[in-house]
Amino acid sequence: MLWSGWGDPALARELPEQVRALLRDFLGVRAPDVPAVGLESVRLPPVALPEPLLGALAGVVGSAYVLTSHEARVRHTRGKSTPDLLRMRAGDGSAAPDAVVLPGSHEEVAELLRLCSAERVAVIPFGGGTSVVGGLTGSGAGFTGVIALDLGRLDRLLSVDPESLVASFEPGVRAPEAERLLAAHGLTLGHFPQSFEYATLGGFAAARSSGQASAGYGRFDDMVVGLTVATPTGTLDLGRAPKSAAGPDLRQLVLGSEGAFGVITSLRLRVRRAPDERRYEGWRFGTFAEGTAAVRALAQEGPLPTVLRLSDETETMIGLAKPDAIGSGGSGCLLIAGYESTPASVSGWGSAAARQAGTAAVLTRMGGEPLGAEPGEAWEHGRFSAPYLRDSLLGAGATVETLETAGFWANLPRLYDAVRLALAGAFGSPLVMCHVSHVYETGASLYFTVVVAQEGDSVGQWEHAKEAVNAAIVAAGGTISHHHGVGRDHRDAYAAEVGPVGVGILRAVKDRLDPAGILNPGALIPPPAA
């Protein structure tokens, strides 16, 4: 993973001349004056943890698994939001942990949490490091030091129960590896977020992730049937049946807790039989309103494809749904649909062909024009390419960032307008693209991509805009996040969303599980009112 960008540097993408011209002529994008620094030039604060404490950490996990090298610290500084990357490219390593610690078992995690509580060392659980909401930004203020608790060694498939269709994993398994391990049993998780290549199962649960095939497989939190969590005050072991009426579901308290309540050390996940057939296709709608009405009809009446995504007019024109052919978009609004079926269609989804025919009937009735397989297959081919494109855009002098929200169908147009207005207010004439990314019977998620020219303090400029967008989302009645989570970036808006009683509950749970407040300080949990 590129420390200052995304993915394998060998897969970096050149921007087509057409896109460079668009950036130059419409957004005034110019090559940055100062090139990105090299890894060795990132400025890190000195290691604050005293030697005896580093020795005590090594006593728990072994000295090979306590890393204080420049490179290890840089690679665990922040996540992968655009402000994170801009800061790293500028050589700002001020949020680096003092050490990276890699536990090898639940018991070691539990012991580390006891030690760090006693010694007041802040602990930031670190999965794939792909947070885009400031979920990994260390703060040693008020602590002896900060460690990144890298869960990469907890990378095993623990068991498969083919009868119940439940698989048990350690949290550090990356998504492609999880799929590979399950494929050997003829199974799949079906979780394909755009961060698929690097994100981990523990990170998906901790941040309530949602993948591109959520219409068929559900969100990641729908897949979690059980969890083991190490906390500074003991272990939580949750989930002995798919559903239960035994009081509130405490699994839900862990899902989305972003490392602030405890460290997930194993997960039991619902899996499905792997499909043997996948089909993708495209449809065109005249306007975003018409397309939105069509995806709502599918969500409410069925049949629901496995993948369903609707781009607005701007995103369609730019061709963002086909990142490998960016700049070659068309008119109207592009809808991408994908259909899957298993050999025996045992999951009750019916065959891909039947689902496709049923979907076509609804989309035709709603005014859609079929475009055939090509747009869908192009989307499928480039589905993990967009993050590489972001690196190229940053290098070319553009700030490009994404943000997302969700709301009920009746409120979706208001939410769409509110976000766009807030961005226009902050930037003047930014390029703003949007798609409906996840659908439910009662509403949907809107996913925005914003492009502006880098100017002066690009991070400050973005943070100012993000504040305005957050306020607009709250005022327009949407949720501050459908799937990226809260981290530090959404914490204040989250407080507004859940209100003072909700904040009080969060604080009470935090105080009970983590009385020393060492777990991911500053993330998720709003501070007490001043």
Ligand X SMILES: Cc1cc2nc3c(=O)[nH]c(=O)nc-3n(C[C@H](O)[C@H](O)[C@H](O)COP(=O)(O)OP(=O)(O)OC[C@H]3O[C@@H](n4cnc5c(N)ncnc54)[C@H](O)[C@@H]3O)c2cc1C
By CB under 6 A, residue 320 contacts ligand X: no
- CB count within 10 Å of CB 410 equals 10
SS (H, E, C) 494-507: HHHHHHHHHHHHHH
Nearest to 496 by CA among 458, 516, 526, 466: 526
Taking contact as CB under 6 A, which single stretch among the options 68-76, 121-129, 351-359, 508-516 is the one that binds ligand X?
A: 121-129
Question: Please, are residues 452 and 397 in contact by the beta-carbon 8 Å criterion?
Answer: no
Q: Which residue's CB is nearer to ligand X, number 207 or number 269?
A: 207
Nearer to ligand X, 363 or 519 (CB): 519
Which range, of 10-18, 47-55, 56-64, 127-135, touches ligand X by CB under 6 A?
127-135
The two tokens of residue 53 are 């404490």
103 near ligand X (CB under 6 A): no
Q: Kindly list the distances between the CA atom of residue 136 and the CA atoms of 150, 308, 483, in Å, as whole numbers in the listed order.
A: 11, 31, 16
Q: Which of 199, 321, 352, 434 binds ligand X (CB under 6 A)?
A: 199
Among the listed residues 264, 299, 310, 525, the single contact to ligand X using CB under 6 A: 264
| CA–CA dist 323, 176 (Å, integer) | 20
The smaller minimum CB distance to ligand X, of residues 152 and 358, is found at 152
Please, which of residues 374-393 interact with ligand X by CB under 6 A? 387
Which of these segments, 28-36, 97-105, 198-206, 316-324, binds ligand X (CB under 6 A)? Answer: 198-206
**Least separation in angstroms between CB 225 and ligand X:** 17
Q: Which range binds ligand X by CB under 6 A, 24-32, 206-214, 238-246, 493-501?
A: 206-214
Q: Which stretch binds ligand X (CB under 6 A): 48-56, 93-101, 194-202, 471-479?
A: 194-202
| HSE of 361, CA atoms in CB hemisphere, 13 A | 9
Cβ–Cβ under 8 Å, residues 412 and 405 = no
Would you say 200 or 479 has its CB closer to ligand X? 200
Is residue 259 involved in binding ligand X (CB under 6 A)? Answer: yes
Residue choice 204, 283, 448, 462 for contact with ligand X (CB under 6 A): 204
User: Which are the contacts of 190, defined by CB distance < 8 A and separation ≥ 6?
Assistant: 211, 213, 216, 217, 223, 272, 306
Q: Rule CB under 6 A: choose which of 79, 152, 323, 332 binds ligand X.
A: 79
Cβ neighbors of 403 (< 8 A, separation 6 or more) are 419, 447, 448, 450, 466, 469, 484
Beta carbon nearer to ligand X, 155 or 249: 155
Kindly state whether residue 282 participates in binding ligand X, applying the rule CB under 6 A: no
Q: Is 426 in the site for ligand X (CB under 6 A)?
A: no
Question: Stretches 27-35, 63-71, 131-139, 278-286: which one binds ligand X (CB under 6 A)?
Answer: 131-139
Q: Is 446 in the site for ligand X (CB under 6 A)?
A: no
Q: Is the dihedral of CA 60, 65, 69, 71 positive or negative?
A: negative
The residue (of 85 and 337) whose beta carbon lies closer to ligand X is 85
What string of DSSP letters covers 45-83? PPP-S-HHHHHHHHHHH-GGGEE--HHHHHHTSS-SSHH
Residue keyed to tokens 């670190």: 126
If one asks whether residue 202 binds ligand X (CB under 6 A), the answer comes out as yes
**Using CB atoms, what's the residue nearest to ligand X?**
203
SS (H, E, C) 362-410: HHHHCCCEEEEHHHHHHHHHCCCCHHHHHHHHHHHCEEEEEEEEEEEHH
323 forms part of the interface with ligand X (CB under 6 A): no
How far CA 423 is from CA of 316, 384, 431, in Å, comes to 19, 26, 9
Whether 219 and 144 have beta carbons less than 8 Å apart is answered as no
Would you tell me which residues interact with ligand X (CB under 6 A)? 6, 79-80, 124-132, 135-136, 151, 171, 193-195, 199-200, 202-204, 206-207, 209-210, 258-259, 263-264, 387, 483-485, 520, 523
